[in-house]
Homo-oligomer: A and B are copies of this chain.
Amino acid sequence: MINNRSKAVTIIKIAEKSGFSKSTVSLALQHSPKIKKSTRKKILKVARELGYVYNRSAANLRKPHSNLIGLVINDLTNPFFSELAVAIEQELGSSGYVVVLVNTSENIEKQEQVIRSLSEHNVKGVIVCPALGTPNNFIGHVNQYGMAMVTVARPIPHQKCDFISVDGDNSIFLTTEHIIAQGARNLAFVGGEEGNAAFEHRLAGFHRAIKNNQAKVDSFTINPCAINRNAASKVTQSLLATEPQPDGIICYSDLVAFGVYSGIQRCGKRVGIDIAVTGMDNIQGASDVHPSLTTTEVFIEAIGKRAAEVLLKRLSAPEIPFSNYSISAELLIRESSSLSGG
């Protein structure tokens, strides 16, 4: 029932049956222009009849390139990252690459293992969302293995590689400005882990907006927490138990905002009435929660597409200088940032 690969059909079998030589078959299979159309047709027909399967292990041994690209993601259960992964995979896949997608679960050791493993499979390049706390020498490891790397969403400290960032600073600046314009006076920033660059960027946007509106802001607090619903809900509940209670919560991301919703509701308050809430990312579901979430559109698909393009570019031109790309975010005003509860 299940074919044994050991008695696999090879180009030699095709050669025998079609009457051409091994090399002609190989060329024909690669759609080489050197082969006459009619013979290619014959060869492809025989290949189909025999159930031939191209053996990339063998090809890789001779060819300098493989069609394998690694996609190393810190947390696939976070919708932002899974949507990003899907976008990258789609782009790379449509360019003929096979994407090896791996989840590191924010585990640095696993991340190192994964890199080694990918290198053994002759992977030429990787796109990575680095796990929290990824050290700078990680880049060196990747390069030692002969792979190009581009990071996305999170930079590695002092990194010397291509990077596609999300527009965290400006995103949070936009949402903070908006929430102040809505009349919030006691602000809270919720979510993210200290020491992480993405967190610092977003915090910078928060502070910038506050400086920009000093007269209007009575108080503000910073409340880091793990980037998941549960942690955000808990932080919010304790936040609401302290004075002055915030009337505007700027969240690290949409996922955090979902947790904040729950924390607010558990305290008997209403989102978009008693407390204005904003997110960032515009993940699936941000428009479907109630009240719908005011957030920033960071264009996940565009980021993924760009990351794929940059890696492909890097692979074809290894010597060009490293670059940072950032795709501008846009404010998306929905219901959660209203403040009509007095």
Contacts and interface: CB of A to CB of B under 8 A. Distances in A.
Given A144-B3, A288-B229, A120 B54 contact: yes
B261 A290 contact: yes
A66 B265 CA distance: 52
Interface string A213-247: 00000000000000011100100000000000000
Interface in A230-276: 230, 233, 258-259, 261-262, 265-266
Contact of A120 (B53, B116, B117, B144): B53
Interface in A115-132: 116-122
Q: How many A residues touch the partner, as a band? A: 35 or more
B121 A57 contact: yes
A61 B61 contact: yes
A146 B8 contact: yes
Contacts of A265: 290-291
A58 interface: yes
Contact of A145 (B53, B60, B77, B261): B53
Contact of A3 (B105, B118, B146, B233): B146
A79 interface: yes
A318 B122 CA distance: 29
A90 B113 CA distance: 13
A143 B117 CA distance: 27
Contacts of A51: 144
Interface stretch (A14-22, A95-103, A187-195): A95-103
30 contacts: A2-B148, A3-B144, A4-B146, A53-B120, A56-B120, A56-B121, A57-B58, A57-B122, A61-B61, A68-B121, A77-B79, A77-B86, A82-B82, A86-B103, A86-B105, A89-B103, A90-B105, A98-B118, A98-B121, A99-B102, A100-B100, A229-B284, A229-B289, A230-B287, A230-B288, A259-B288, A261-B289, A261-B290, A262-B288, A262-B289
